[in-house]
Amino acid sequence: MLINGTAGYHCTGSYRSMEEALDRIKQEMPDVMLCDIGLPGMSGIEGILILKERYPNLLLLMLTVYDDDDRIFDALCAGACGYLLKRTSPARLLESLKEAVTGGAPMSPEVASRVVTLFREIRPPERADYELTPHESRLLKLLVEGHNYTTAAEDLNVSYNTVKFHMRHIYEKLQVHSKSEAVAKAMRERLIN
């Protein structure tokens, strides 16, 4: 009701389980999918892994009651672009959907605080050399700063397809499957100055 009742937003589907979503989502692909964790059958985190493999550009935003470190970390590592708690206000939820579409990583304040603490506790390994070209490093830095492919292309004065081409090489070199995984690895291993 909130999404369909707001100008500029449209709910493309609602599913009772991740299995149902996996079966039906291709009929009308959304820009952003809100996912819960505690679902009947397959968990939302398991489903995210499958969805990211099938639809790498699909944005998956967690909206759940769970605020423990393990689930937050697992969801973000699985490919979630953000993590909101169900007590998020309707206005903030709509703002978070827009933020996700423009390349952001929306999080409830409590979750963001936990993520910062987790990153402080995780000691990165010695800086690995993934043999990124200077152009790939500049592109990865823009993504870490919150840019999406479109705004990164504009900033680098290249085409969107050029960004996609370089991102495929970055994914291969970093051994990741999504923008959020590449950004997380770049931050965790301090690949960007």
Look at residue 124 and tell me whether its pLDDT is greater than 60: no
Q: In the predicted model, what is the mean pLDDT of residues 112-133?
A: 75
Gap between the Cα atoms of 68 and 115, Å rounded: 10
Q: Provide, rounded to the nearest whole percent, the portion of the chain with pLDDT above 70.
A: 96
Look at residue 191 and tell me whether its pLDDT is greater than 90: no
**132-147: per-residue pLDDT in tens?**
998 999 999 998 888 8
pLDDT for res 155: 92
pLDDT for res 22: 94
Gap between the Cα atoms of 9 and 56, Å rounded: 22
